[in-house]
Amino acid sequence: MPEPVEVRLPDDVRLHVEATGPAGAEVTAVLLHGWTLDGRSWHRQLAALRTAFGSVRVVTYDARGHGRSSCMTLPTATLAQLGDDLAAVLDAVVPAGRVVLVGHSMGGMTIMEYAHRHPEHFARRVAGLVFVSTTAEGHTHTVYGLSPRIARVIRLAETTGAGVLARCGSWRPPQALLRALRPSIRWMLFGDRCDPADIRLVTSAVARASLRSIGGFRVSIGVQHRLATLAALAHLPAAALVGDRDRLTPPPCAESIAAALPATELTVCPGAGHMLMMERPDEVNAALSAVLRRVLDATPTR
pLDDT digit string (tens) for 260-299?
A: 998 899 999 999 999 999 999 999 999 999 999 999 998 7
- Give residue 129's pLDDT band: very low, low, confident or very high (50, 70, 90): very high
Does residue 9 carry a pLDDT above 90? yes
- Give residue 179's pLDDT band: very low, low, confident or very high (50, 70, 90): confident
Mean pLDDT of 34-39: 97
pLDDT digit string (tens) for 185-239?
A: 999 999 999 999 999 999 999 999 999 999 999 999 999 999 999 999 999 999 9
Distance CA 58, CA 30 (A): 6
In 207-234, which positions are buried (b, 16+ CB within 10 angstroms) versus exposed (e)? Answer: ebbbbbbbbbbbbbbeebebeebbeebe
Q: What is the CATH number of the domain that holds 262?
A: 3.40.50.1820
Mean pLDDT of 28-42: 97
The number of folded domains in the chain is 1
Report if residue 302 sits inside a domain: no
What own/partner pairs with CB < 8 Å and gap ≥ 24 does 168-171 have?
168/211, 168/212, 168/215, 169/71, 169/210, 169/211, 169/212, 170/71, 170/210, 170/211, 170/212, 171/210, 171/211
H or E element, residue 110: helix 106-117
Distance CA 275, CA 264 (A): 20
Does residue 162 carry a pLDDT above 80? no
First-residue to last-residue Cα distance in the chain: 27
Distance CA 148, CA 145 (A): 9
Does residue 300 carry a pLDDT above 80? no
pLDDT digit string (tens) for 48-104?
A: 999 999 999 999 999 999 999 999 999 999 999 999 999 999 999 999 999 999 999
Report if residue 64 sits inside a domain: yes
Domain that holds residue 222: 3-297
**Burial of residue 293 (number of CB atoms within 10 Å: 0-12, 13-18, 19+):** middle
Distance CA 278, CA 242 (A): 12
Strand runs labelled E in 140-264? 238-243
Amino acid making up residue 193: R
List beta partners, residue 265.
239
Strand runs labelled E in the chain? 3-8, 14-20, 27-32, 57-61, 98-104, 126-132, 238-243, 265-269
Distance CA 25, CA 295 (A): 13
Distance CA 109, CA 127 (A): 17
Report if residue 265 sits inside a domain: yes
> 286 Cβ partners below 8 Å, 6+ apart?
none
Q: Are 274 and 189 in contact (CB under 8 A)?
A: yes
> What length is written for the chain?
302
